[in-house]
């Protein structure tokens, strides 16, 4: 098992930063674009539809966060790809949600917020298609104002799971809602991965990030779990996002905030898609509820152990692909991630929690 690639972008103009990344990793970025071309086709999306949605997303991003549009343009130039392909990568959740179906498990997140003033303890599995097993890295971004962002993301995509040195952490779970396939999405929708990066670039705490998320129109559903440690208190909320609206979810009375891949808010749950197709997301939530209730006050190792669960143990939190599964259904836990909110860093393990040990973690700060 290899360690994750970590790439640090020094202070630079957004376009230059993107071009530097594209020049450093042209082949991984092209591999990601090719894999998603195949995945989009498997969902039934026509090539012109993918192109159109990518360019439409880029127009929205350019109006909303010009610096991220410049960065994406730089990535395309550096990797020698048409801009629409990088734009489609960043809108891959929106394209898959509109044209495809999601069967099988996905990510599981657990955040613990101590009541005694200690910082949050966080962990998540990132489950995705095994064709992207080598399609991700850790990107460290230095901003001119001194803020540093660390994000675990896919090559060509500007952000996903991450943390910043201002004191904000972000975990990411995909959701599915009937409104994802609405005929007329909001005119100014922003891809959820771009929203995640914007939150890390500009927000310093949970209230700021939650406010940005809830006022940003989206065309695909996701849950963004936010954590901070402000004024000597651990804080966390999960933002359930959908084109039909957004809702904030808060930790249980014992301090735990858990997320899998279904809507918890009763109103939004009436449009549930993923759970309607596969009850595994509910099974994973049940196991996490049970394990964390018995866990007490965990450190990172204890929280990772709670995530170490396979199908024969009650739920597929740690996912391994079936060798004969078709493209689009070969799910694997590609990474396990824990955030250090106070230090503004993260720890990442390549693979699922069942293969993690003390030496397998890469600490990025």
Assign 107 a pLDDT band (cuts: 50, 70, 90): very high
Task: Please say if the pLDDT value at position 104 is more than 90.
Answer: no
Higher pLDDT: 44 or 20? It is 20
Q: In which band, very low, low, confident or very high, does the pLDDT at 99 lie, cut at 50, 70 and 90?
A: confident
Q: What is the reported pLDDT for 151?
A: 98
Lowest mean pLDDT across 98-107, 165-174, 196-205, 335-344 = 98-107
Average pLDDT value for residue range 86-111: 87
From the candidate CATH numbers 2.60.40, 1.10.238, 3.90.1200, 1.10.10, the one assigned to the domain spanning 8-99: 1.10.10
Rounded mean pLDDT of 131-150? 96
The mean pLDDT value for 338-362 works out to: 96
Please give the average per-residue pLDDT across 5-29, as a whole number. 97
pLDDT band at 182 (very low <50, low <70, confident <90, very high): confident
Residue 187's pLDDT is 76
pLDDT value at position 165? 98
Is the model's pLDDT at 326 over the cut of 80?
A: no
The overall average pLDDT reported for the chain is: 95
Compute the average pLDDT of residues 326-354: 93
Mean pLDDT of 209-216: 98
Domain ranges of the chain: 8-99, 108-364
Least confident of 107-111, 194-198, 354-358: 354-358
pLDDT, residue 55, reads 96
Question: What number is the average pLDDT over the span 258-287?
Answer: 96
Query: pLDDT band at 140, cuts 50/70/90?
Result: very high
Nearest one of 2, 88, 9 to 48, comparing CA atoms: 88
The predicted pLDDT at position 29 comes to: 98
Confidence band (pLDDT; 50, 70, 90) for 282? very high
- The pLDDT confidence band at residue 1, using thresholds 50, 70 and 90, is low
Q: Residue 101 above 70 pLDDT?
A: no
| Average of per-residue pLDDT across 82-94 | 97
Res 201 pLDDT > 60 = yes
When pLDDT is averaged across residues 24-49 and rounded to a whole number, the result is: 95
Quick one: what percent of the chain has pLDDT higher than 90? 88
The reply to whether 108-364 shares the fold of 8-99 is no
Q: Which CATH number is associated with domain 108-364?
A: 3.60.60.10
């Amino acid at each position: 098992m290899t360690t994750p690639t970590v790439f640090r972008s020094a202070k630079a103009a957004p376009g230059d930063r993107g071009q530097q990344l594209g020049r450093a990793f042209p082949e991984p970025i092209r591999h990601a674009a090719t894999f998603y071309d195949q995945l989009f086709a498997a969902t039934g999306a026509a090539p012109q539809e993918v192109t159109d949605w990518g360019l439409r997303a880029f127009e929205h991003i350019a109006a909303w966060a010009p610096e991220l549009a410049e960065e994406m343009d730089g990535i395309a130039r550096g990797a020698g790809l048409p801009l629409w392909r990088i734009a489609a990568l960043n809108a891959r959740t929106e394209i898959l949600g509109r044209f495809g179906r999601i069967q099988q498990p996905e990510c599981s997140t657990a955040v613990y917020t101590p009541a005694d003033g200690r910082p949050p303890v966080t962990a998540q599995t990132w489950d995705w298609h095994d064709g992207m097993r080598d399609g991700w890295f850790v990107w460290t971004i230095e901003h001119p104002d001194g803020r540093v962002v660390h994000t675990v993301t896919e090559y060509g995509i500007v952000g996903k799971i991450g943390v910043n040195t201002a004191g904000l952490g972000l975990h990411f779970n995909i959701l599915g809602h009937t409104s994802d396939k609405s005929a007329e999405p909001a005119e100014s929708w922003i891809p959820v991965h771009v929203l995640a990066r914007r939150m890390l670039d500009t927000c310093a705490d949970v209230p700021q990030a939650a406010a940005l998320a809830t006022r940003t129109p989206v065309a695909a559903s996701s849950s963004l779990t936010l954590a901070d440690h402000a004024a000597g208190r651990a804080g966390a909320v999960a933002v359930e996002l959908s084109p039909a609206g957004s809702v904030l979810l808060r930790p249980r009375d014992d301090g735990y905030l858990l997320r899998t891949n279904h809507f918890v808010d009763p109103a939004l749950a009436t449009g549930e898609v993923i759970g309607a197709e596969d009850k595994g997301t509910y099974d994973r939530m049940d196991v996490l509820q049970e394990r964390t209730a018995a866990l007490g006050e965990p450190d990172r190792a204890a929280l990772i152990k709670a995530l170490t669960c396979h199908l024969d143990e009650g739920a597929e939190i740690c996912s391994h692909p079936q060798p004969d599964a078709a493209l689009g259904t070969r799910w694997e836990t590609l990474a396990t991630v824990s955030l250090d909110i106070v230090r503004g860093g993260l720890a990442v393990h390549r693979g699922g929690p069942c293969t993690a040990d003390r030496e397998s973690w890469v600490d990025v700060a």
